Structure 1
Amino acid sequence: MDANGTGSAVGGERPPQTADRTGFVPVDSAGELREILGQPHPVVVDKVHQRLTDADLGILARSPFGILATSDAAGNCDASPRGGQAGFARALDRGTLALPDLPGNRRGDSFHNILENPHAGLVFLVPGSAEVLRVNGRARVLKDAPFFDAMAVKGRRPRLALLVEIDEIYLHCPQSLNRSQVWDAKNTRARRG
């Protein structure tokens, strides 16, 4: 960032402090949006399910990283990275996930949001793979449960855990990972600059 608080943009250009919004044309209705997007293929609609499949469990077992999306009662959103060893998010049964709260910044933004609004979304990624598992459900913050011992890291039990009762789960289209080549080692080195 420079002294004006601007960061680099695509191609290294600096964005203006305030963008000119002349000519911005918003989409104003769900009908207009559907007209622009067209209808989703039935396969895309039919892939949504409510119970973890064996394939879903395999992705969770290989995933060391996820992103948790929450919002407070007023709709203010937060997306928070979550991670640990592969398999850090555990299936308690085919309809429930548990994620330990591992040491971090102690802000607790996601937990505060969940206390006000239990709806949460999760995206799980597997390094080197285009697999993206999306989970939406209702979350609760737990301060203890029998499974806490099994989630200990280096002998330390989590102080809190997130319990997610799954409403829907599905594999997300891998195109964004493929286009970005996020797992390509040469791109990772180039981005470090």
Structure 2
Amino acid sequence: MSIKFKEIISSKEEFEEFRSFIGQPSQRAANKVISFIDQHCRNFISMSPFLTLATSNSEGKCDVSPRGDFPGFVSVLDEHHLFIPERPGNRRMDSAENIITNPNIGLIFFIPGLGETLRINGKAYISRDPELLEMNIVNGQAPLFGILVEVEECFAHCAKAFIRSKLWNPESWLAKENLPSVPQMLVAHSKIPNVTAEQVAKELQEGYKRRLY
């Protein structure tokens, strides 16, 4: 750490002292974690079109990736297993490669307009099970693989972050002309000679139209 920050908590002893300052969770917060997918979780997942997926490699380097499709695109196979189909992306395979060396995974399921979310933690596996892939055919296209999750923890998360951020409130959204230019960002970061932001924007739109599945 090149910058000298103050009051850094870096040991278990310091954290325990900090915990006494913050206080203990309420009984409801402490008891809300269950170890299986009950009907409430199943119902939540069936309405969710979007999730974030957190993985890390064997060195502990972390990655968070979005997954989205029609509501209920994640299959609940039984009380302890989920299947997330892998749709066409950028082929970096960051999450999949991490899972091979470190199966621990964390998911957060979102429902548009609802502040509360569903968090699920467990172990993940890369699956090419033909039956699971066939279950997830869209527009005649089956995914090449999917992520099978063995569920260890399920719990609801409160809406405070959404209330503070006003994420679901359209009145808080920036006008389109004020949003960051992702094509310009990609040009600056990738440093590929003779490629313009206009070209990147066109390629992105083509991919969105033709290569979702």
* Secondary structure class of the residue paired with 1:167: strand
Structure 1 match to 2:8? 26
TM-score using structure 2 length: 0.77
Q: For residues 1-40 of structure 1, what are the structure 2 equivalents within 5 Å?
A: 21-22=4-5, 24-28=6-10, 29=12, 30-40=15-25
* 1:140 equivalent in structure 2: 125
Tell me which of 35, 43, 61 is aligned to 1:58: 43
Pick aligned residue for 1:68 from 46, 49, 53: 53
Q: How does 1:79-94 map to 2 (within 5 A)?
A: 79-94=64-79
Q: Runs of 5+ in structure 2 lacking a partner?
A: 179-213
Distance in structure 2 (CA, Å) of the matches to 1:94 and 1:191: 42
Distance 1:31 1:192 in 2: 47
In the alignment, which of 155, 158, 166 is matched to residue 173 of structure 1? 158
Separation in structure 1 between the aligned mates of residue 107 and residue 35 of structure 2, nearest angstrom: 14
After TM superposition, the structure 1 stretch with the greater mean CA deviation from structure 2, 78-87 or 53-62, is 53-62
The answer to which structure has the higher helix fraction is 2
Between the two proteins, the alignment pairs up a number of residues equal to 175
Work out whether 1:149 is the aligned partner of 2:134. Answer: yes
* Identity among equivalent pairs (%): 36
Shift of 1:178: 1.3
Q: Which residue of 2 aligns with 1:95?
A: 80
RMSD of aligned Cα (Å)? 1.8
Moved more, 28-37 or 177-186: 28-37
Separation in structure 2 between the aligned mates of residue 20 and residue 40 of structure 1, nearest angstrom = 33
Aligned equivalent of 2:63 = 78
Q: Which moved more, 1:25-34 or 1:111-120?
A: 25-34
